[in-house]
A and B are shown apart, each in its own frame.
Chain A
Amino acid sequence: MLAMSARTAIQLAALLVLCAVLMLLGLSIGSTGFSPWTDNDPTLRQILWDIRAPRSLGAWLAGALLALAGAVAQGLFRNPLADPYLLGCSAGASLGVAALNFLVGLSPPATALALRIGMTGAAFAGAVFAVVLSLILARGVEQSLRLLLAGVVVGVVLGSGAALLTLMNPDILRAMQAFMLGSTGYVGWSAVQVMAMAMVLCLLVSLGCSRALDALTLGEDTARSLGQRLTLIRLLLIGALSLATGAAVAQCGLIAFVGLVAPHLVRSWGPTTHGALLLLSPLTGGALLLAADIGARWVIAPQELPVGIITALLGGSYLLWLMHRRKSSLGGAR
């Protein structure tokens, strides 16, 4: 399906090796620092299998989903600053989680309802709600700029709703903070399954649309004249972008910067087609978030840093360096 250049193949192989190494490291880093598995310890084997394995795999998957969403968003909106949260996903998910936490303890039926929906359900529903709202406000997917503006508005409004609920019940402050900074601590096998399924689905859809994304870089009229069905493509891609972001955010909270930075990293290694970008970005994002998760566990073990702080530090410094190095590519000189 994809004619791959030799350079892309080498990058792909290198990233796969890096991810494998990080995964082994992830299995060896726990609450006591570096503690790889030795055969004679059943407790450790259980910890490894029940906690570290799903956690490491889950962090990798969440990073991959966010990076894929970021690559799709940047290609679709032809905007280097587009990220997975640009349609208000993050604010919607925050509102969902805040509403859920607010319901707990409000009254017995509300509590029962909240426990049935669960944190992941609420976050996912909130993210989907935000995207639908943005689409309604922008009257469909035809106008990119309208959609971007709608996303900003929805993000601000839903975000302030979440803030208001948190203010009304400060008990939920810590839970909200944990969600806002991202957390991979409680990722189990069921979460891994959900994210893996979302990953496969979104990857297939976006790879199927990669030719259209390539055509789009030449401008909308050109893409149309090349016979691309832009409206359908946009709908499919926004669906994939939202599903990928929603799945990652629902399981791990709002993880900063991975989705924005991973595609930039891939592009900084040389020009790529979207087909290659959509394969390399998830591998890069997965490696980034897994590395950040390992750092979060390791730096002050047995205490833990919120993983979002590490990704923001890593991603933020990288982005600053990139802007410093190539002023023109990030809108310095037009």
Chain B
Amino acid sequence: MPPTGLRALARSIAAPVAAAWVALLALSTFNAAHAAPISVKDDRGHTITLADTPRRIVSLLPSLTETVCDLGDCDKLVGVDRFSNFPARVQTLPKLGGLDDTAIEMLIALKPDVVLLGISARVIDRLESLGIQVIALEPKSLNDVQRVLGKVGQVLNRQDEARRLWNRIDGHITQSAASLPAAARGLSVYYEVDAGPYGAGSTSFIGEILTRLGAKNILPPALGPFPKLNPETIVRADPQVIMVGQRNAAGLPQRPGWQAIRAVREQKICVWAPAESDVLVRPGPRMSEAAALMARCLRDAAAGPVTWPTAPFNAPAGGMR
């Protein structure tokens, strides 16, 4: 193509594009007459600009759902993922599936101003190509939770509440730690996430709370957040306390060689009921509760054998997260 042709082509493209921009700017200034646009950089590094504080929000991550509600905007949620079950009022909202099988049509029909979800959600690209504003966040460590709270606060235009909420979570964890008697500090702990065995490492948010409570995690930071272990590792480390969810607790003392572990011998295995597991595995506002639960376990273990839950294991249908 000759250069003149190129120039003509560029001109012919530029004109409608410029017109569109002018229209867009006109629209946004019209909107901005009673709202300032919000600009947020999400955990993918994308900058998302919202013309106005969102009125219709979809959250596809339980911890983000809890964060939105805790910041006082529960009534703006119009849809959530399959696992969001707290606070109770979100249970009546449309359920839009999970991370891998999100119900896109249903979601679009809800006309959300913004969708909050985890960074690994498969649905991100599809939603963006359909013109939906997507903010992907990844709360993994305590620092992440603080950052994610700030971002959600920005989106909702509730920066002050977000700061206050983080101070509250942080304060509660510190309080839980301070409430422990001397005997309950410095206990060595193995926290089992799954019977693989997968443990919670020092760098996971669960491990970080344990560290704040003064417990000694048997897994060194080098192993990462949730390593799959050789069962021998745990037998060798000989933890004084084991924390495990009720789904994986059955049969744990009977695993080959595990009778030699102090926590098994002295019956210091804390078993989480399903509702407690829910609190413990979500890096969100209820981390203060998680810290209190772990502190309770450490206190009980320091005092003597820990009793297992008497209620039979009864998880909600469709699983929990």
Q: Which residues of A contact B (CB under 8 A)?
A: 30-32, 43, 46-47, 50-52, 54-55, 104-108, 111-112, 115, 167-172, 174-175, 178, 183, 185-189, 297, 301-306
Contact = CB atoms under 8 A, between A and B. Distances in A.
B318 A168 contact: yes
Interface in B48-75: none
Contacts of B232: 30-31, 47, 51-52, 297, 302
Contacts of B257: 46-47, 50-51, 188
B318 A169 contact: yes
A192 to B, nearest CB: 10
Nearest to B194: A174
Contacts of B229: 31, 302-304
Contacts of A183: 196
B253 interface: no
Contacts, number: 107
Interface of B: 98, 101, 194-198, 223, 227-233, 235-236, 238, 246-247, 250-251, 255-257, 260, 274, 312-315, 317-321
A28 B285 CA distance: 46
Contacts of A174: 194, 196, 198
Contact of A106 (B230, B231, B317): B317
B319 A303 contact: no
B318 A43 contact: no
B260 A105 contact: no
A51 B227 CA distance: 20
A180 to B, nearest CB: 12
A172 B320 CA distance: 10
A186 B314 contact: no
Given A170-B321, A302-B232, 9 more contacts: A46-B260, A47-B257, A51-B235, A168-B318, A169-B317, A178-B195, A188-B255, A301-B230, A302-B229
A105 B236 contact: no
Contacts of A54: 256
B194 to A, nearest CB: 5
Q: Which 3 pairs of residues, A with B, have the shortest CB-CB distance?
A: A105-B315, A50-B257, A188-B256
A30 B315 contact: no
A101 B318 CA distance: 12
Given A47-B235, A52-B232, A174-B194, A187 B256 contact: yes
Contacts of B227: 303
A304 B230 contact: yes
A128 B231 CA distance: 30
B120 to A, nearest CB: 14
Nearest to B193: A174
A112 B311 CA distance: 12
B250 A303 contact: no
A234 B249 CA distance: 44
Contact of B256 (A31, A108, A186, A301): A186
A51 B256 contact: yes
B101, B260, B313 interface centre (most CB from chain A within 10 Å)? B313
B240 to A, nearest CB: 15
Given A50-B256, A302-B223, A30 B314 contact: no
B247 A108 contact: no
